[in-house]
């Protein structure tokens, strides 16, 4: 008798590209949200609401009633880090489960996943150093790096697999990269302005010693340069017929103008907390709009399968 081999069924849980894109987009939103809530910690003077790390107190990992509202705010922000990490882990699992698997997505997904605990460790160092303004600034910039990685992951998940093709001439791609570099520099100088200002996160926290008026002027000069470069990109992209890149540059200019307006109003109204929080959200939007502009200068086209040779009677005979 013929033996019938028993085959164990292979159970797989494939993830659709649409679900992966949604998870990647959710990761961007979650990482922006934790920046805003981190700002709320600083603006409510709750930076030392949990006076140590990784515990909230020497005896407890969570806030106690005696710590009051500041402990609740700081501990709540720490809990949000776990929620953001769960989303990042879900993205990694979705990338691994996708069929066919897109190997280029895994390094980006892992960068986001491991960037979150790294950012949390820097946050712990800010507590252990009594909110050193330079470490606080590094904490913010680490969040920006994670957001950038999350954005790159989302864009790669949206794009098809295929070679990268420029959509604008090489000089304009160079100008776009220069604009991105200036945007990053504006973010860095913005942390110096914050470190010199009144919102230290705690009444006893030190400031960085820079003159607030002078460093604010440097920051404003960088913003003017950034807007000028972005406006130049709008006209340059339109001149070469790159409609998609021009639209992305218009969005960037609009976000920059809105962020600049908030910055000027908050400066001349002596930095009210609500406007400072809006300015932090605006920083995230400027970063995302900058990356969107940069991404629009290239595209990926689907890989078309190579045409198979047609077997005719002549080719068969020749092969024989």
Q: Which sign, positive or negative, has the C-alpha torsion 239, 240, 242, 248?
A: negative
For the chain, give the number of residues: 320
Q: pTM of the full predicted structure?
A: 0.87
Instruction: Give the pLDDT mean for 236-247.
Output: 96
Pair of tokens at residue 215:
């460093």
Q: Which range, 56-65, 235-244, 266-275, is most confident?
A: 235-244
**Bridge partners of 129?**
none
Instruction: Give the pLDDT mean for 41-61.
Output: 82
> pLDDT tens digits, residue range 177-196?
999 999 999 999 999 999 98
So what's the pLDDT on residue 32? 96
The DSSP bridge pattern shows strands 164-166 and 298-300 to be antiparallel
What is the per-residue DSSP string for 142-211? HHHHHHHHHHHHHHHHHSPSS-EEESS-HHHHHHHHHHHHHHHHHHHHHHHHHHHSS--SSTT-------
């Amino acid at each position: 008798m013929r033996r019938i081999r028993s085959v164990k069924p292979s159970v797989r849980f494939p993830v659709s590209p649409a679900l992966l894109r949604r998870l990647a987009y959710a990761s961007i939103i979650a990482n922006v949200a934790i920046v805003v809530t981190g700002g709320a910690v600083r603006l409510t003077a709750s930076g030392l609401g949990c006076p140590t790390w990784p515990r909230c107190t020497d005896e407890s990992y969570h806030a106690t009633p005696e710590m009051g509202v500041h402990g609740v705010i700081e501990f709540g922000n720490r809990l949000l880090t776990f929620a953001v990490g769960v989303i990042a882990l879900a993205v990694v699992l979705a990338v691994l489960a996708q069929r066919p698997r897109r190997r280029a997505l895994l390094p980006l997904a892992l960068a986001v996943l491991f960037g979150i605990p790294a950012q949390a460790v820097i946050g712990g160092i800010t507590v252990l150093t009594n909110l050193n303004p330079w470490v606080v600034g590094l904490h913010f910039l680490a969040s920006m790096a994670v957001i950038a990685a999350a954005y790159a992951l989302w864009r790669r998940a949206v794009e098809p697999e295929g070679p990268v093709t420029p959509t604008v001439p090489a000089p304009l791609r160079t100008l776009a990269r220069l604009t991105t570099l200036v945007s990053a520099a504006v973010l860095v100088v913005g942390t110096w302005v914050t470190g010199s200002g009144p919102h230290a996160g705690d009444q006893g926290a030190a400031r960085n010693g820079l003159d607030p008026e002078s460093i604010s002027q440097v920051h404003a000069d960088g913003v003017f340069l950034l807007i000028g470069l972005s406006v130049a990109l709008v006209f340059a992209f339109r001149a070469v017929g790159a409609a998609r890149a021009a639209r992305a540059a218009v969005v960037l200019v609009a976000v920059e103008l809105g962020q600049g307006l908030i910055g000027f109003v908050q400066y001349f109204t002596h930095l009210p907390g609500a406007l400072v929080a809006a300015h932090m959200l605006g920083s995230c939007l400027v970063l995302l709009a900058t990356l969107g502009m940069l991404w629009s200068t290239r595209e990926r086209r689907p890989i078309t399968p190579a045409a198979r040779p047609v077997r005719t009677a002549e080719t068969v005979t020749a092969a024989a």
